Amino acid sequence: MRRYLLHLSYFGTRYRGFQKQNVSGKPTYDDPHTICGLLEIALKGCEPLNHPTIIPSSRTDKGVHALCNTVHVDLDGDPRKICSRSIHLHLNRFFTFNDHDIRILKVQQVPDQFHSRHQAYERQYLYRLAVPRAGALWRQRPLVPSPLTEHNRCCFLQESTFDSEAIKAACGIFVGVKDFGALCSKSREKLGRNVTTVRDIRSLELSPSAPFIPNRQLTEDYTFWQFSCIGKSFLYHQVRRMVSALVTYGQRRVDLADIQRLIDKPVQDSWTPVYQTLGACGLYLVDVLYHAEDLSYNEELTAEQRKVQALEEEAAQIMKQLSEFDGTVNDKINLKTRLIQIKNSLARFSC
């Protein structure tokens, strides 16, 4: 059994989120509607001896995208069919052939005790949004333009009021070790008694952005912005709610004191209908980071273990030959000499 870390990217629009839907009594069922389910289906094509259970670092919601998410999986089987390179090739071939918006970026073998979620020390998110200009031409048209290049890739606001400088100044309210209970869409009962709503947000910034593909009409009608958020871990809907609160403040529909109250009074009642949670389409998981030593898989040690195993097997065969020996004295001396050499080699390996 070997443990592998998979780095993958995907557009989440077509899928029901990352996590497989719970089906009572059927933990190994096929789920072609989620990222996790499709990964498991694809991995079965590698013919492992075990069911490939996916452990994700981040369970993104329906419609959320990932530039780089990570999972780990344990696989047992023929090493010629199950190795980093063959897994990488097979999965991308499967996703390409079946026209899925999922791609594997990297596959690497990791230590057996490695855990993709628990050992991630940082997660980076980005939220893209487009703000209509005050004199945008579409305001005089019967239909709002729907740019194909940004379809389900960016959140398009309908209100042109957007005080970017005020938002930048307010971002600091959410930075640091804070209780984000007001920004979690799950109640404390659903989270569980042992789950804390305190999180450490290391950075939250607003900066100008641009369309994926240069488009004159699009930039004439909209200004593009992106929120960058970095932390070790996040609550359910926390990033989208932080961004939503800041956008609401930038639209001058709430005061700075209202934003501060979300932290000072970390209960669900603090999240009022004036804050409308922005859509999932603008949210991207950018990266999941690990310490290099946690990922270090010592292949030399594995080769050494194989060498030791081979020497031990050879020694056992020689011992058996000596116990049943019926040859010349010189042959017996050669066997004993080889046995001494093996024991000396094993002694060096044990040092």
- Report yes or no on 85 lying in a domain: yes
Burial, 99: exposed, middle or buried (Cβ in 10 Å; 0-12, 13-18, 19+)? exposed
- Pair (278, 188) in one structural domain: yes
224/205 Cα distance (integer angstroms) = 14
User: Residue 61 catalytic?
Assistant: yes
The average pLDDT across 10-24 equals 89
pLDDT confidence tier of residue 321, bands split at 50, 70 and 90 = confident
- Report yes or no on 285 lying in a domain: yes
Is the model's pLDDT at 323 over the cut of 90? no
- Pair (284, 305) in one structural domain: no
Query: What's 7's domain CATH number?
Result: 3.30.70.580
Q: Domain span at residue 313?
A: 299-350
In terms of pLDDT, which residue wins out, 63 or 313?
Answer: 63
Is the model's pLDDT at 351 over the cut of 50? no
- The pLDDT tens digits for 145-204 are 567 889 999 999 988 999 999 999 999 999 999 999 999 876 555 565 678 999 999 999
- Report yes or no on 294 lying in a domain: no
Using the 3D structure, point to which of 258, 289, 320 is the last residue of a domain.
289
Predicted structure pTM score: 0.82
- Token pair, residue 33, equals 């509607």
The average pLDDT across 18-25 equals 78
- Pair (141, 282) in one structural domain: yes
Predicted pLDDT at 331: 83
Query: Which one of 30, 31, 61, 221 is the catalytic residue?
Result: 61
Predicted pLDDT at 6: 98
- Pair (25, 173) in one structural domain: no
262/274 Cα distance (integer angstroms) = 13
Query: What's 216's domain CATH number?
Result: 3.30.70.660
- Pair (184, 255) in one structural domain: yes
CA distances from 294 to 110, 168, 277 (A): 8, 35, 36
- Pair (135, 279) in one structural domain: yes
- Pair (85, 27) in one structural domain: yes
- Pair (211, 279) in one structural domain: yes
Is the model's pLDDT at 112 over the cut of 70? yes
Residues ≥6 apart with Cβ < 8 Å to 322: 332, 335, 336, 339
Using the 3D structure, point to which of 266, 289, 312 is the last residue of a domain.
289
Whether residue 263 contacts residue 179, with contact meaning beta carbons closer than 8 Å, is answered with: yes
